[in-house]
């Protein structure tokens, strides 16, 4: 019964055009256009008549017609670390290419610029190259704090929109950040270990890279400790272990030998496989291990159950959303979301392959 009425409304929902408004207001479409775009040269009388109509109806400009007319091509440059040095970044490139493909028939050009993640000057240089193309927006991974801020300030002064993803960075010149809540991410790891083991020592392992991971690791540790602090008195002891790459193997072995009570490990970077390699050789005792990112190496140890869980930072989706946020701003005049926080995916042996979309 009622559905007939709704059906009626459904089909009645008129889509108004500028011409419709002009006729309703008794003016020409030129005048309506001037009102809509506040171009002036409209008498008070005409302005009132048009606004009265606009108040009454819900005018939605036809975006097809608009972007057909506006021949402007928006250009977006994306700066990502070269995946040759670190496979973590490959999904980002895939994500950008997906966005590119999806919007290929629209007036946007997206270009990827790769830089060397181990080399600050490569980052600076690449930003210079990007600037030379004078794009409308830049999406970048701000690996190098100081240099990123500098680059973003320059973009901002030239009216170029900058968005970042993967790494958080505070600056009023940044229009958008896409990433994860790292504090929460640490809490998730803590909750998982809390379920896996009941007592003993847990170590937070920071494997530092050549480039800046400090903020990442600190936030994760804070969240991790926060979880156990809020638990109240438990049978857990939590230690932090920092290590740089070269002497990594021997020092970690030492650390484990010195702390026989260790029952669980939380590796705050994507290098859990390096830890797994070591503890896999100690089959006398199963140590719970949690790490980050679906790298080949990590998956290998996940599948042989040396790693219990991996936390997925979803770099592909981060890059994709960073790009589409900008694209949709340009072609659909959407607001740019200032912060997009992705869900933090928990991965085990069985759902790992699902996340390679």
Partner DNA sequence: TGTTAAAATGTGCTCGAACACATTAAAAAT
Partner DNA sequence: ATTTTTAATGTGTTCGAGCACATTTTAACA
Residue 29 contact partner, candidates DNA, a second copy, none, CB within 5 to 8 A by sort of partner = DNA
List all residues 6 or more positions away from 40 whose beta carbon is below 8 Å from its beta carbon. 34
Task: Print the binding letters for residues 133-162 with a second copy: x by CB under 8 A, - otherwise.
Answer: x-----------------------------
Work out which of 20, 33, 98, 111 binds a second copy, going by CB under 8 A.
111
Q: Tell me if 221 sits within 8 A of 206, measured CB to CB.
A: yes
Q: Hunting for tokens 């997906």 — which residue is that? A: 98
CB of 83 to DNA, least distance (A): 35
Give the nearer residue to a second copy in terms of CB position, either 85 or 107.
Answer: 107
State the number of binding residues for a second copy (CB under 8 A).
44
DSSP β-bridge partners for residue 241: 205
Binding mask 307-336 for a second copy (x = CB under 8 A): -x-----------------------x----
Measure the N-to-C terminal CA separation of the chain; round to a whole number of Å: 44
Decide if 139 contacts 321 (C-beta within 8 A).
Answer: no
168 three-state secondary structure: coil
Q: What is the DSSP letter of 342?
A: P
Tell me whether residue 48 or residue 305 sits nearer to a second copy (CB atom). Answer: 305
**Helix/strand/coil (H/E/C) assignment for every residue in 286-337:** CCEEEEECCCHHHHHHHHCCCCCEEEECCHHHHHHHHHHHHHHHHHHCCCCC
Q: With CB cut-offs between 5 and 8 Å by kind, which of a second copy, DNA, none does residue 192 bind?
A: a second copy
Is residue 187 involved in binding a second copy (CB under 8 A)? yes
Chain residues in the site for DNA (CB under 7 A): 15, 17-19, 27-31, 33-34, 36-37, 40-43, 45-47, 59, 61-62, 65-66, 68-71
Q: What is the DSSP string of 215-244?
A: HHHHHHHHHHHHHHHHH-S-SEEEEEEEEE
The yes or no reply on residue 344 touching a second copy (CB under 8 A) is: yes
Binding site for a second copy (CB under 8 A): 3, 7, 10, 60-65, 67-68, 104-106, 109, 111, 129, 133, 181, 184, 187-188, 190-192, 195-196, 227, 308, 332, 341-351, 354-355, 357
């Amino acid at each position: 019964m009622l559905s007939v009425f709704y059906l009626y409304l459904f089909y009645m929902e008129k889509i108004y055009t500028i011409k419709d408004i002009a006729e309703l207001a008794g003016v020409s479409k030129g005048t309506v256009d001037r009102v809509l775009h506040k171009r002036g040269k409209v008498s008070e009388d005409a302005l009132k008549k048009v606004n009265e109509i606009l108040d009454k109806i819900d005018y939605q400009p036809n975006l097809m017609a608009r972007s057909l007319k506006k021949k402007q091509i928006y250009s977006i440059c994306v700066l990502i670390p070269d995946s040759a040095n670190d496979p973590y970044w490959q999904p980002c490139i895939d994500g950008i290419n997906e966005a590119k493909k999806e919007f290929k028939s629209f007036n946007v050009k997206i270009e990827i610029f790769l830089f060397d993640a181990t080399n600050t000057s490569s980052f600076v240089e690449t930003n210079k190259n990007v600037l030379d193309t004078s794009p409308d927006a830049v999406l970048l991974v701000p690996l190098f704090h100081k240099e990123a801020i500098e680059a973003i300030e320059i973009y901002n002064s030239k009216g170029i929109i900058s968005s970042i993803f993967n790494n958080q960075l505070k600056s009023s010149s940044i229009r958008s950040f896409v990433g994860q809540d790292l504090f929460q991410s640490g809490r998730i790891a803590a909750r998982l270990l809390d379920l896996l083991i009941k007592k003993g020592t847990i170590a937070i392992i920071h494997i530092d890279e050549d480039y800046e991971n400090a903020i990442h690791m600190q936030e994760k540790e804070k969240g991790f400790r926060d979880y156990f602090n809020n638990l109240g008195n438990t049978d857990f002891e939590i230690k932090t272990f920092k290590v740089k790459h070269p002497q990594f193997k021997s020092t970690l072995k030492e650390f484990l030998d010195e702390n026989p009570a260790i029952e669980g490990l939380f590796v705050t970077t994507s290098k859990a496989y390096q830890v797994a390699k070591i503890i896999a050789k100690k089959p006398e005792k199963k140590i719970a291990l949690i790490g980050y990112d679906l790298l080949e190496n990590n998956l290998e140890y996940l599948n042989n159950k040396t790693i219990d869980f991996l936390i997925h930072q979803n770099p592909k989706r981060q890059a994709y959303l960073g790009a589409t946020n900008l694209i949709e701003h340009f072609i659909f005049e959407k607001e740019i979301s200032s912060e997009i926080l992705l869900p933090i995916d928990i991965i085990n042996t069985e759902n790992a392959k699902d996340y390679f979309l």
